[in-house]
Chain A
Amino acid sequence: MKNTKKTCLKGILLLLGTIAFYFVVRRVCTSLYTMMVVNIALIYTLIAYSVSVMLGMGGELSFAGITFMGGGAFLVANLTTSRLGLQLPPIAAFLLTIPFFAIIGFVVGLILLRLKSTFFTFSTIALVQMSYTIYNNYKPLFGGPDGIAGIPTTTLFGLKMMDYYDWFPWLLGFAVLIGLFINRIRTTPMGRSLASCRDNETAARVLGVNVYMTKVLAFTIAAVLSAMAGGLYALQTKFVSADMFTYASSTKYIIMAMIGGVQSTIGAFIGALIVQVLPQLLKSFEGYLQLFWGVSIVLLMVFMPEGIAGIFRATVRRMKNKKKKTAVEGGVPDGGK
């Protein structure tokens, strides 16, 4: 009973937080440009979630997200501009990315996850390089260096998504919804199985976890999340080109997840906001930005491997322990001895 109450309270807090965030951002973002920065951060949040699933829960670092993001973006672009001979409504094209990339992600996962840890990571880097080359050179499907323009304006429940202001509440809601989904995975058998693969593969196996298939499933989920992000990006900016989907940009969302904390869902969101918004605030230091990310990642790994969310959690735990100690008041904590 206590648990349902707690969940209720958390739900209300989340709702209030989301609404507060909405109004604060609407007040702060007075130009179309700043709104775009926040919207792109929300889209990137989806890929940061995928890192949270693969790296945080499964312990496998994958760069492949950007490949699937590109795939999702180009799929939506092709289906909505009648380049392939048929023109779907934008939302239908977006929804099609889910089954399409579930299948592709599953097959690619089956192949790449035959490799272990570092070798797997390298294979995903190879995948990113290959996909970039293909996106950039194969004109019939990806438009080559020119990209694909002219994606029609999206209509959602009769509302036309004219500019970034219109998109913002939908993207925010979507990011929160997917966040809840990821959080649910974390606290149910799938998340625990993944975590056991990460921490001790032998123990996972004797606890009945099919390590290989569990990781493939995680990879599939990550692929779908990334593809959805790509689809949303295409619909929002109405233009897609290959130079969005390079290896360099794939490092960006890994930095996001790491700064926010790979073990935490909300961390992915915070990280995405920081990495997107900070460069705008520090425009004059742009040349030093890469250096800044590099140094901050090193410091992060040494001093707070669980990112910002990790610090928050550690503080809460410390406060709780202090409370417990004062409650025991000099009595020996009973450990069954």
Chain B
Amino acid sequence: MAENSRQPVLRLDSICKSFGGVVTAKDVSFSVYPGEIKGLIGPNGAGKTTMMNMISGIYTADSGEIFFEGKNITKTPDYARARMGIGRTFQTPRFLQRSSIRDNLLIGADLGNRIGFLQGFLGKSSTNFQSELDEMMEILHFRFDWDDDINSLPFGQRKLLEIVRSLLSHPKVILVDEPAAGLNNKEIEYLMEILRMAAKKRNVGVLLIEHSMDMIMDICESIVVLCFGVPIAQGTPAEIATNPAVIEAYLGREDDD
């Protein structure tokens, strides 16, 4: 899938990060290609979410460089990275409180519009919010009253809606942090469908953190394994499943528990 001739949408070059004495990333390098779904896995505390925070600019890396479509964005502020096209979801969904579902999703569309406050004030829009939304709702099998409060929805649906919000902003790469946690089987099915839709139909690069191995093995084309900030393996799902270092990391973790 990811031919080397193509330019990666996101490239990390020997990223290092530590909090005091705790090393959360050590010489991490990998690339995400357009239309590729890449898994980022590892035991708890391996530095997966930290890695995402560095890519979206919430943390800055101690050393190393991040490239987005060939451009060095290591020093670009977080909101500017989002405007360039780095989408993001969180382990626990982060939404506007006391606001309707529609308003929450419109924030994503606002970013997708890439127009200023003034033009937005005058009612201009460059994207078709409703038709895009309908397309995604069909995949997710949701039927809402859009004016309902966001908090009236169950956790799983809110998690899926966060992905929808991010996709409405037309990202070129989307960072999805543990989307399946708290979802039922049916919802996980829809989740995989919408991630596939994003990657295959819209050519979005997907970087996915997930603990559900079934899902990772099913959906990812390639996987990076982190263990205490060190990238211990990279490869296709089949390679990763038989990699002795990966098996040791996971089983060794079980002993600790």
Contact = CB atoms under 8 A, between A and B. Distances in A.
B105 to A, nearest CB: 10
Given A192-B106, A193-B107, 17 more contacts: A185-B121, A188-B121, A189-B116, A189-B117, A189-B120, A192-B96, A199-B95, A200-B94, A200-B95, A202-B90, A205-B82, A206-B57, A206-B78, A208-B110, A209-B82, A336-B140, A337-B186
B107 A192 contact: yes
27 contacts: A184-B121, A188-B117, A188-B123, A192-B103, A192-B106, A195-B96, A195-B103, A199-B96, A200-B96, A202-B58, A202-B90, A204-B79, A205-B57, A205-B58, A205-B82, A206-B78, A206-B79, A207-B108, A207-B169, A208-B83, A209-B82, A210-B77, A210-B80, A263-B98, A335-B154, A336-B142, A336-B143
Contacts of A185: 121
A190 interface: yes
B242 interface: no
Contacts of A206: 56-58, 78-79, 82, 86-88
A189 B129 CA distance: 13
A200 B97 CA distance: 9
A275 B97 CA distance: 28
Contact of A211 (B79, B108, B111): B79
Interface residues of B, number: 46
B187 interface: yes
B186 A196 contact: no
The interface residues of chain A, by DSSP majority, are classed as: helix
Contacts of B108: 207
A217 B121 CA distance: 14
Nearest to A56: B98
Contacts of A190: 117, 120-121
B60 interface: no
A211 B94 CA distance: 16
A203 B169 contact: no
Contacts of B186: 336-337
Interface of B: 56-58, 77-80, 82-83, 86-88, 90, 94-99, 103, 106-108, 110-111, 113, 115-117, 120-121, 123, 140-143, 145, 149, 154, 157, 165, 169, 184, 186-187, 190
Contacts of B80: 208, 210
Contacts of A196: 96, 107
Nearest to B122: A188
Interface residues of A, number: 30
Contact of A208 (B58, B82, B99, B154): B82
B157 A335 contact: yes
A196 B98 CA distance: 11
Interface in A56-105: none
Interface in A173-218: 184-185, 188-190, 192-193, 195-196, 199-200, 202-211, 217
A130 B159 CA distance: 48
Given A192-B110, A337-B186, A208 B169 contact: yes
